[in-house]
Amino acid sequence: MFFINHTDIGEGSAAIIEIEGPLNSDSAPDFDDYVSKLADNNVIHLLLDMKNLDFISSEGIGAALMLQKSINSRNGAAVFFNLNYEITSLFKLLGFDRLFTIASDRADALQILDRHMELFQKDKTDQNSGTAGGNTFTAFDDEYSLPDSGFSESDSESFTVIEDITDDTTEDDDILTVDEKDETFIIECVKCRSLIRIKESGDQLCPHCSAEFTVTDDKQAVFRIKEIH
């Protein structure tokens, strides 16, 4: 069974979300709907307590990514806390510890959220007073500049077509497990926004939109700017 409970905090725009049970293909749609309704009611600062999260599948990770993207687009914040060892290791393995804001416990999460809300209120004050601010971009923004990879269209290259993260998932193999020897990780295609699993460095092609990009040895994906636009 999957349960979601939430407690309003602050002045109505923040809440603590407690997740209990598995976040998988069965529960991810309900999770999406729940978070969307909160966002529609301007609850855009979320603390997600994952202490009782049994496990998370590829669909569950996709739901978490969509939550992060939706909240960021509204200038909100999502802080995940009380992750167990297996899920923490999985997030690190897939590189999601660089995308998600993760806190060790509730007190730490509240401090992070307080700092974000202070900056959020300051930005609103600056906007109302006509103070110009800089543009802030996140990994989920629809438009942001990428570093030029140095490749030209005339370069002769070979590409490896990589996998969609759902390719290996079946009803009997729904749970993502952590293998310390597994060097694969997951990125989001900046052109079509699909989640794809990377198995090796070098020149790659998105299996959905054929966007070209290069994966460096330190697991950084550099997309071809001309291909994206």
Domain presence at residue 151: no
Handedness of CA 171, 172, 177, 179 (dihedral sign): negative
Calculate Rg over the CA atoms of the chain: 19
- What is the predicted pLDDT for the residue at 203? 87
Beginning with the edge strand found earlier in the chain, give each strand of the sheet holding 77-81 in spatial order: 3-9, 14-23, 45-56, 77-81, 101-103
Q: What is the pLDDT along the chain (229 residues), one digit of tens a residue?
A: 788 998 988 777 899 999 999 999 899 999 999 999 998 999 999 999 999 998 898 888 889 988 988 888 888 889 999 999 888 888 888 888 888 899 999 999 999 888 887 876 666 565 555 544 444 334 444 333 333 333 333 333 333 334 444 444 444 433 333 344 446 677 777 777 777 778 788 888 887 787 888 888 877 778 765 544 4
Domain presence at residue 155: no
Q: What is the DSSP string of 8-49?
A: EETTTTEEEEEEEEEESTTTHHHHHHHHHHHHHTT--EEEEE
Domain match, 211 and 101 both? no
Domain presence at residue 149: no
Domain match, 19 and 118 both? yes
Q: Which residues, in sequence order, are bridge partners of residue 14?
A: 9, 45
Which residue range forms the structural domain that includes residue 27?
3-128
Domain presence at residue 137: no
Q: How many residues does the chain have?
A: 229
Determine the Cα–Cα distance for residues 150 and 158; give it in Å rounded to an integer.
16
Determine the Cα–Cα distance for residues 214 and 146; give it in Å rounded to an integer.
12
CB-CB contact of 34 with 60 (8 Å): no
Give the dihedral of Cα atoms 32, 60, 188, 214; nearest 10 deg. Answer: 180
Give the closest residue to 23 by CA, choosing from 90, 74, 75, 92.
90
Domain match, 199 and 121 both? no
Q: How many domains does the chain have?
A: 2
- What is the predicted pLDDT for the residue at 52? 93
Q: What's the pTM?
A: 0.55
Domain presence at residue 13: yes
Q: Estimate the crossing angle of helix 58-73 against helix 28-40, to 10 degrees.
A: 10
Domain match, 110 and 173 both? no
Among 110, 128, 146, identify where a domain stops: 128
- C-alpha distance from residue 136 to each of 77, 127, 146, 201 (Å): 14, 14, 14, 29
Domain match, 77 and 168 both? no
Residue range 202-213, pLDDT digits in tens: 888 887 787 888
Domain presence at residue 107: yes
Domain match, 124 and 164 both? no
